[in-house]
Structure 1
Amino acid sequence: MMSEAEAAGCRLVHFPEGAVSGYVKSQIADWAGVDWSALREELDAVAVHAARLELWTVLGCNHRLTPPNRPHNSLYVISDKGTLVGRYGKRLCSHTELNAWYAPGAESLVFDIDGVRFGLALCIEVQFPELFLDYAKQGVDCMRFSAYSDTPMYGMLARAHAAMNNFWFSLSIPALPGNRLSACLIGPDGHVLAKAEGNGDALIIGKIDRSNPQFDIALEKARPWRAAARSGEIYAERRVTDPRSDDRISFFRVHPTGM
């Protein structure tokens, strides 16, 4: 799929949660059964291929820590030179992940490609809007969101985050039988631009184009205005001192003159 993406002119390819390592409770029953050496060889091979294709690659993989610490559930960012430029560790792990499988990560991660800024999130984190608000404050243009899930709610939340924060949103999930959710690319207006059809392997191709008039309102009007609104400044300078405003347990009063 990396080769297919490069042949289609892509600069970045994005894969699901656990794409290389497998996911716990599905492919992994016990950490002791993981061949970490083989997994490292696969990661090195992906990095070599990324350099060969000159293709940025984001992929999900478990990241081994020093025993007895549990691994991180991570996304690796490999540059078009084949260099690992960053790793995102899932910060908001599920109850089961936190208590039986993973150590949580601690920081957000942003990276830039050709003047476009990307942010990363994983699976259940889609249920926490504060993460995406923080990425918006960091100037992210496109979220790369990987999951090992088929719940349709994830798709609804992804569209909501894209529309509320006015950034593109890439949703990558594994091709599993009976999927109720489709991998997709969502525009900064919350509309789906492209999505996988059926449950088989599929490569979704999209373009991040800020000059597209389709996104003029989302990018040139809504995004800067919402940033100003969230800062509170446009409201603070217009607040008034008025006893009727301070009195919040009475209906408004009508003066004989109508004021």
Structure 2
Amino acid sequence: MKFATAQTVVSSDIAANGNAIRTMIREAAASGARLIGFCEGALSGYAKAQITDWATFDWIAQEAELRSVAALCGALHIHAVVGGAHRLADGSLPHNSLYVFSDLGTLTTRYDKRFLSNSEVSDWYAPGSVPVVFEVDGYSFGCALCIECQFPEIFGDYERMGVDGVIFASYGLPEHFEIALRAHAGLNCVWIGAATPAQKAPKGPAGNIGPDGRWINRCSATPAPGMVMARLDRKDPLYDVALQKARPWRAKARQGDIYRERMTDHRRTRNRQDY
């Protein structure tokens, strides 16, 4: 199956953000993509950048745009992962979230960022608590946001949960993020779609990473909207070592039985030789 990773202009105008997201969804669907991922805050805007005070944030406008995105996904039969804030019923700080829409036009699930920066957790967002996995055409995906690329346990947990890929959304992809993402993809043998805002592209454009840890493709590094697509295929000869050899072997290695068995055999051989 094909999945797309986008970079759209993120502004303080929620309606404009929604229009940019829907435009990219249409392009992805026309190109045969079954899933498209957008950046952190793609719809709502990001705290400190477009959002300066939650008291003035237009939650009604965002809800309307979320419904429009869901309806378009259903009409075009495509899945989408869209960054946006999520308001909590108790009035506390909102979550920094990824909304996952199905090709039936419904909200499949929502991922709430678990590891927050110091400024985020102090003034802007409440942390989430659980990983999220969803499926598209028999392939499963996890979600991660921004600074979470600095926490390897996020990606290791997803590997143990059996995901094929991770939709990663960030408000910028600086070089150390890119290094970490390539490492996570190669170490865990998963695809990663890394989305970022168009205005942040000059410091690192959106792109897709293969399970061998190499970039498959990237958007333009100019501050303009764009989209790149990648193909997920577990039988792709290009990723034979990563998917058919390295990943299953590493799973056995982490389980540890293979080493305990070898140690037992070694001890038996040594005892016979001593005798």
With normalisation by structure 1, the TM-score equals 0.91
What is the number of residues matched between the two proteins?
243
Displacement of 1:242 in angstroms is 9.9
* Counterpart code for 1:215: Y
Aligned positions of 1:15-26 closer than 5 A: 15-26=38-49
Q: Which residue of 2 aligns with 1:233?
A: 257
Secondary structure at 1:179 match in 2: helix
Displacement of 1:241 in angstroms is 10
Q: Which residue of 2 aligns with 1:53?
A: 76
Matching residue within 144, 162, 168 for 1:139: 162
User: Are 1:27 and 2:40 counterparts?
Assistant: no
* Counterpart code for 1:92: F
Identical pairs, percent = 47
Matching residue within 178, 184, 207 for 2:231: 207
* Counterpart code for 1:122: L
Matches of 1:236 and 1:91, distance apart in 2: 35
More helix by share: 2
Aligned CA RMSD, in angstroms, stands at: 1.5
| Cα pair 1:21 1:60 within 8 Å, conserved | yes
> Quick one: structure 1 residues 177 and 149, their matched pair in 2 at CA, closer, same or farther if it must change by over 3 Å?
closer
The 4+ residue runs of structure 1 with deviation greater than 3 A are: 240-243
Displacement of 1:239 in angstroms is 2.4
* Counterpart code for 1:203: M
User: Are 1:10 and 2:33 counterparts?
Assistant: yes
User: Are 1:158 and 2:181 counterparts?
Assistant: yes
Q: Which residue of 1 aligns with 2:273?
A: none
* Counterpart code for 1:161: H
Matching residue within 182, 186, 209 for 1:186: 209
Matches of 1:5 and 1:206, distance apart in 2: 11
Listed as ranges, the gaps of 5+ residues in structure 1 are 244-259
> Quick one: structure 1 residues 45 and 134, their matched pair in 2 at CA, closer, same or farther if it must change by over 3 Å?
same
Displacement of 1:68 in angstroms is 3.0
Deviations 1:117-174 (A, max 9, x none): 1000000000000111000000010110000023111111111000000010110001
> Quick one: structure 1 residues 115 and 177, their matched pair in 2 at CA, closer, same or farther if it must change by over 3 Å?
closer
* Counterpart code for 1:224: P
Deviations 1:84-111 (A, max 9, x none): 0100000001111111011100100001
Matches of 1:234 and 1:182, distance apart in 2: 42
Displacement of 1:232 in angstroms is 1.2
Answer with 191-200 or 138-147: which moved more.
191-200
Query: Greater CA radius of gyration, 1 or 2?
Result: 1
Matching residue within 46, 63, 88 for 1:65: 88
Q: Which residue of 2 aligns with 1:124?
A: 147
Q: Which residue of 2 aligns with 1:42?
A: 65
Displacement of 1:70 in angstroms is 0.7
Q: Which residue of 2 aligns with 1:216?
A: 240
| Cα pair 1:150 1:179 within 8 Å, conserved | no
Displacement of 1:198 in angstroms is 2.1
* Counterpart code for 1:150: L
Q: Which residue of 1 aligns with 2:98?
A: 75
The structure with higher relative contact order (CA 8 Å, sep 6+) is 2
Q: Which residue of 2 aligns with 1:255?
A: none
Listed as ranges, the gaps of 5+ residues in structure 2 are 1-23, 268-275
With normalisation by structure 2, the TM-score equals 0.86
Matches of 1:220 and 1:67, distance apart in 2: 47
Answer with 96-105 or 175-184: which moved more.
175-184
User: Are 1:100 and 2:107 counterparts?
Assistant: no
| Cα pair 2:204 2:221 within 8 Å, conserved | no
Matching residue within 194, 198, 201 for 1:175: 198
Secondary structure at 1:80 match in 2: coil
